[in-house]
Structure 1
Amino acid sequence: MKTNDIRNSFLSYFEKNKHKILPSSPVIPYDDPTILFTNAGMNQFKDVFTGNRKVDYKRATTSQKCIRAGGKHNDLDNVGFTARHHTFFEMLGNFSFGDYFKEEAIKFAWEWVTKEIQLPKDKLYVSVYETDDEAFALWEKIAPELKNGRILRFGKKDNFWSMGDVGPCGPCSEIHFDRGEKFGTGPDDVVNGETERFVEFWNLVFMQYDQTENGLVDLPNPSVDTGAGLERLASLIQNVDTNYEIDLFQNIIEAISDTTKSKYTKDLKSSFHVVADHLRALTFAITDGAGISNEGQGYVLRRILRRAVRHGRILGADEPFIYKLIPTLVNEMGDAYPELIEKQSHVINVVRMEEESFDRTLDKGLIYFSDALKKIESVHKLVSENPQDAKKKASDGSIDEDIYHSVVKNPKIIPGNTVFMLYDTYGFPYDLTEVMAEERGYTLDETGFNQAMEEQRKKSRAAAT
């Protein structure tokens, strides 16, 4: 079953069950200053759930474009190095606004999963909130196959959802898929065990309370908010090990291979995944009106693009290349999201200009970074072999004094001034340098970096007066 077919099946199923199919909201939340990017299907319905906006429907279903790369939900640093993290992904959802509640939500979920997409029942587990006896009993009634120990209770961390410190909240029930013993039989290979054996793919949230400053209050019209990761579902249905092996990514990965002249091998998989994922985040965000800049959403997108460019270098791309991949993505997803076709030329121009700008400083910055590590290693060797001589050379300027003092404290820390130079002169975001350092076994002197930043701000303020 292709990814597009899964999306269509979900929306069609809920349409048959009297849900109104609504378009995805943009990934740029123009009317919600509390989040950088749209990160869940319920975002566009937040005011409906709270009663602040009236709509002419009681049931809705969507496939929501989501980006998680900033704020509370930030998957950026994990992307490329895990099987399922993305900055951009699609979230399938069905919603009830004071209409049906737990029983119907569970019935719909079980029927779609076992009859429409036909996941094997013996591979399914569900989790419920530890005190939600109603949900537990409903699962036993609707899915008696799960009675043999496959309905599990968990605490607030795993099975209670809230919009924030105040607002609608409630217990949730998650559906998990057991990928089998080949993915692990250890004590951590359990539901909610954070390993690759059990994959959570659908969360049913029962919004029945309002969290106030004085505690929980029952909502007058309990509602339902569900979210299922499309890419995760596709990986389970298509029986592949990672989200990046589903059909949706295959043409993109092939285009990356053709453009960079690199083969999709075990050693290079992570870089392929980074580029494929970041291509989607950039294309959808810019299509929906975002720009690339030094603040807010624009800064996050700049970080995403520069991370993709650096991984492109690992793949052998020594000139701008990401913009060349955009037509492949548009061809892959333009039918589901026609705005991609409409804005394709604009997105290509924005990405190409940003790539060209960063490309001019990237090589010089990488050389500076490499030279800095060589200096650190050289000073470390000198300190280890002849500490008195090293101290003397630091005093008379024969070796870099900042590096000397840093090495004496910890030989695996890159001094703050070095990190600041990469940031200020070569345009390397702090977290990009951090990732590069981690790959080589180093950490960054964050305090020293912040001090250098503050000194720069003081100079700028003084120059302006």
Structure 2
Amino acid sequence: MEWTGLNELREKYLAFFESKGHLRLPSFPLVPQGDNSLLLINSGMAPMKKYFLGQVTPPSKRVTTCQKCVRTPDIEHVGKDDRHGTYFEMLGNFSFGDYFKHEACAWGWEFVTKVVKLPEDKVYVTIYLDDDEAFDIWTKEVGVDPSHIVRLGKEDNFWEHGSGPCGPCSEIYFDRGEEHGCGKPTCGVGCDCDRYVEFWNIVFSQYDSDGKGTYTPMAKPNIDTGMGLERLACVMQDVNNLFEVDTVQNIMKHTGRIAGVTYGEDAKADISLRVITDHIRSTVFLVGDGVLPSNEGRGYVLRRLLRRAARHGRLLGIREPFLYQVAETVVHENAAAYPDLVEKQSYIQSVIKAEEERFAATIDQGLQLLEQRIAALPAGGVLSGDDAFKLYDTFGFPLDLTSDILEERGFSVDADGFEKRMKEQRARARAARAAGMGAAWEDSKDEDTPETRFVGYEKLSCAAKVAAIITEGERVGLADQGSTVSVVLDTTPFYAESGGQVGDTGLLTAAGVCVQVTDCRKSPTGRFLHIGKVVEGSLSAGETMQAQVDAPRRRAVMRNHSAAHLLQAALRSVLGTHVQQAGQLVNDRHVRFDFTHFAALTADELAAVEKEVNTAILSALPVVTRTMAVEEAKKTGAMALFSEKYGDVVRVVQMGDVSKELCGGTHVDNTGKIGLFRIVSETSVSAGVRRIEAVTGTNVLELLRGQDIAIKEAAQVLKAAPAELPQRAAQVAGELREKDRVIETLRGRIAAMQMDALLAAAKEVGVFRLITASLKEMDVDGLRMITDRVRESDPQAVIVLAGMAGGKVVFAAACGKEAVKNGAHAGNLLRTAAKITGGGGGGRPDSATAGGRDASRVAEALQSVEAGLEAVKK
């Protein structure tokens, strides 16, 4: 066999199965699409599950892929040995009711022995204990030496996961030689030592299990295979582990260059190098697939990986953000197979760097707290769940990071106590949400209530029957005037809040009865809750009413929702396709759109986005809405949200050739009806997420009217015509700067005079020259100017001054160079003094500031300074 690079192995495999009639599919995103059972894709088969279960028709009966995968259950072991990792690639060939054992075995052997040319005498195959069919195929058809076939039990060679498709499997092993073995006489395939490496698993899905021990043969069995790309590369490159594979090694070497260390020279450094190398691989691919650091779900997985890697960088002596630099090598090494990484490289690096900087701002404080807690623990002690939660909640330490640090020092953490605190926090969050949603109704049974039929796409008014009335958390048959109610109708034109679009408002009316609807939301079972107040008469269950949406308000909401679609298209056009919706709110007043991007938009970028949206509006593009199967919709290129759960049938909203999105909201039928679009603000929401707020239609006119009034009022104050405002403002700013300069000069002269007087009144305290004074009408900046000058003029000086700023006591202190050498500490002296006045503060040995509350005790506070100096050991 010949040494072969990882990227070349990937291509050889995919090309080989293409030659066998397989459709090559690109890797699916790490974020599962339409599968809420998984947090992240963790196997090559995971994205194929919908095809195996018959939920979706596969694009071909034969498919081959190289699937990127992330697994984190063993994250705490990553780095401690050279076996564990979180990111890997899985090669696979799949048959959906097409070929079966004969072809799968023959092609597997052909690839192993003819394409990558592994020596046949080094290759072994395992089969399920009772699978005689597989034994005959391998030996009689494929030609494998029977002595190289090993029968193993159900635990090793039968793939089963609960109920559903299952079956026996064959695994292919490579013998690395006696030097890698354990030396035991029983050493062989299946041994836990490093001699025999399993690198390919071929699953024969031929039974349907009921999960209770009954296996029914399937009419059309399937083939599901998985081969670890990195494992195959280890074999082909004759290396001991994935960290020595060519592409992975290049990533590790980049970190080594930054840290100034070499892999293999120091055991502790090697652990950190392995952690960083593995975690940055996972990180780059997660960010590339739209995951952002957060405190829950996939975002928490990403944050754990990044922060664990960042801490190990510090253990190597790297103090500045560096992971974003190593990410460049990850992209380079994977560019051929994943060109989208190259397109998103700048974005990926920005996300990583921002998270590094965020963690760097708190890690030292967190470590300081942890050190304090460790110091108080007995040998082998356990850090409390409360302390672990504080490290997480305040300083962003994931539990496994805290656990890692403790384990290195011989301690452990109360993980159950930490989880208890986490559950309490989640419960508080749920309670807060429920308080605004009508928790009593959410918990009630409504199976006997008909599902609400929504007709609001076509009409804004219709007749409807009252199916249920809820008031004060209870279901009632009658609600009198003045009652606050949630009304369920069998049919409604009211849009219920979802997808970022607010619920409709309006009226429910009948003879002598009127309910003013102030909001519309959905119950957990999908019933529409018309929330409002009975303003006239009595409302009865079963009554037929006229449901009327507030039409002007709804049209304003529609304008903003359609503008949000155009805005996303414009952002992707101007900034790049990495832009994804991260949240939105559309109501009758404005559109608020959150999106993934890491830098504040420049004025030119904002202008370009605004121009593109208005161009689409003025082009009067038709807005066409179609209903179709979700898979068909995605094939047409319609944009979907990773976080959104879509049903089998979806609505696709298309605006000319500019925008096409999956959306259940309400929209104008022509972009021209939006009128105008104006961006009001662009801000940061969190790391990697920006927010644009904008207005449309008549709200643009209101905005312009408000700005016009502000301009006129400003012009009046500055005694200038509106057209002269820029020049007049510049003139006033210049005058103010000149006055500030004069004030600063005068303040300096005053400080000099006061300094001379203070120095003359200095008191000898041991080797120190102590100066204390209360300068009542001086703020902290003025005090600092004087203390700094005294410190520079007299090396043995210790000066503490008090003043008043905004009705509060302020202090400033400074110590000369020689005074500091002799033990004086401005921060400590000031901390004690400020405490006497009910305040606090501190600072460096040579300079400090503080604040206080009780002005009557300033003299006492200043007197404490002399006592503090006398206590200093010479």
- What band does the TM-score fall into relative to the shorter chain? 0.7 to 0.9
**1:449 aligns to 2:450 (yes or no):** no
Q: Which residue of 1 aligns with 2:53?
A: 50
Structure 1 residues 109, 461: CA separation in 2 closer, same or farther (over 3 Å shift)?
closer
- Cα deviation for residue 84 of structure 1 reads 3.2
d(CA) in 2 for partners of 1:249 and 1:137? 39
How many angstroms apart in 2 are the aligned matches of 1:190 and 1:371?
51
1:152 to 125, 146, 150: 150
What pairs up with 1:25-424 in 2 under 5 angstroms?
25-69=28-72, 74-148=73-147, 150-162=148-160, 164-183=161-180, 184-186=182-184, 189-213=187-211, 215-264=214-263, 265-267=265-267, 268-377=269-378, 411-424=380-393
Provide the residue aligned with 1:20 in structure 2.
23
State whether residues 84 and 232 of structure 1, in contact with CA within 8 Å, keep that contact through their aligned partners in structure 2. Answer: no
* Partner residue of 2:403 out of 434, 443, 447: 434
Mean Cα deviation higher: 256-265 or 168-177: 256-265
Looking at structure 2, the residues matched to 293 and 362 of structure 1 have their Cα atoms a distance apart, in angstroms, of 16
Rounded to whole Å, the distance in 1 between the matches of 2:211 and 2:336 is: 46
Check 1:416–1:239 CA distance in 2 against 1; reply closer, same or farther (3 A cut). same
Q: 2:329 & 2:89 partners in 1: Cα distance?
A: 18
For 2:114 and 2:369, the matched residues in 1 are separated by: 58
Deviation per residue, 1:179-198 (Å, 9 max, x gap) = 12212223684323333222
Q: 1:458 to 1:292 in 2, by over 3 A?
A: closer
Question: Post-superposition shift, 1:458?
Answer: 7.7
Q: How far is the alpha carbon of 1:453 from its aligned partner? A: 4.5
The corresponding residue for 1:394 is none
Q: CA deviation at 1:307?
A: 1.0
- Cα deviation for residue 58 of structure 1 reads 1.8
> Which residue of the partner structure matches residue 555 of structure 2?
none
Do the aligned partners of residues 366 and 146 (structure 1) sit closer, same or farther apart at CA in structure 2, a change above 3 Å counting? farther
Local SS of the residue matching 1:33? coil
- CA distance in 1 between counterparts of 2:221 and 2:431 reads 57
- 1:321, CA displacement in angstroms? 0.9
- For residue 374 of structure 1, report the CA deviation from its aligned partner: 2.2
How big is the shift at 1:117? 0.6
| Cα distance, 1:112–1:453 mapped onto 2, change above 3 Å | closer
Cα 1:8–1:427 shift into 2, 3 Å: same
What amino acid maps onto 1:441 in structure 2? G
**CA displacement at 1:3 relative to structure 2:** 0.9
Partner SS, residue 332 of structure 1:
helix
Tell me by how many angstroms 1:210 deviates.
1.5
Alignment partners' CA distance in 2, 1:31 and 1:370: 45
In 2: Cα distance, 1:295 partner to 1:446 partner? 17
Deviations 1:208-242 (A, max 9, x none): 11222553222111010111000110011100111
TM-score normalised per structure 2: 0.47
- How far apart are the structure 2 equivalents of 1:161 and 1:350? 39
CA distance in 1, matches of 2:59, 2:418: 53
- Checking the alignment, whether the CA contact within 8 Å between 1:416 and 1:452 is kept in structure 2 is yes
Q: Which runs of 5+ in 1 are unaligned?
A: 381-410
Task: Write the letter of the residue equivalent to 2:209.
Answer: Q
Using a 3 Å threshold, how does the CA distance of structure 1 residues 366 and 10 change in structure 2: closer, same or farther? same
| Shift, 1:114, TM fit | 0.9
Alpha-carbon distance in 1 for matches of 2:36, 2:432: 33
Secondary structure, counterpart of 1:39 in structure 2: coil
Q: Is the 8 A contact 1:262 1:316 kept in 2?
A: no
Structure having the higher strand fraction is 2
In structure 2, distance between residues paired with 1:121 and 1:196: 19
Alpha carbons of 1:189 and 1:248: their partners in 2 closer, same or farther (altered >3 Å)? Answer: farther
Structure 2 CA distance for partners of 1:462 and 1:130, relative to 1, 3 Å: closer
What's the C-alpha RMSD, in Å, of the aligned pairs? 2.2
**Paired residues, what number?**
427
Residues 452 and 290 of structure 1: CA distance in aligned 2, closer, same or farther (over 3 Å): closer
Check the 8 A contact 2:173/2:189 in 1, yes or no. yes
Mapped contact 1:279–1:322 kept (Cα < 8 A): yes
Distance 1:455 1:95, change over 3 A: closer
Is 2:105–2:142's contact at 8 Å kept on the other side of the alignment?
no
* In structure 2, distance between residues paired with 1:444 and 1:436: 10
Task: Give 3-state SS (helix, strand or coil) of 1:193's partner.
Answer: coil
Please give the secondary structure, in 1, of the residue aligned with 2:162. Answer: coil
TM-score (normalizing by structure 1): 0.86
Residue type matched to 2:6 in 1?
T
Give secondary structure in 1 for the equivalent of 2:282. helix
Identity of aligned residues (%): 47
**Per-residue deviation, 1:80:** 1.9
**Alpha-carbon distance in structure 2 between the residues aligned to 1:139 and 1:361:** 59
Q: SS at the partner of 1:376? A: coil
Q: Which amino acid aligns with 1:419?
A: A
Distance 1:454 1:285 in 2: 26
Shift of 1:254: 1.7
> Given residue 316 of structure 1, which amino acid in structure 2 is its aligned partner?
G
Measured in 1, the distance between the counterparts of 2:21 and 2:373 equals: 63
- Return the alpha-carbon distance in structure 2 between the equivalents of residues 132 and 427 of structure 1: 52
| Bigger shift: residues 108-117 or 262-271 | 262-271
Do the aligned residues in 1 keep the contact of 2:82 with 2:274 (CA within 8 Å)?
A: no
Q: Distance in 1 between matches of 2:240 and 2:391?
A: 37
User: For residue 646 of structure 2, what is the aligned residue in structure 1?
Assistant: none
Change (3 A) 1:38 1:187: farther
Deviation at 1:441, TM superposition (A): 2.2
* Counterpart Cα distance in 1 of 2:228 and 2:424: 45
Letter in 2 for 1:436: I
**Would the aligned equivalents of 2:93 and 2:224 in 1 still touch at CA under 8 Å?**
yes
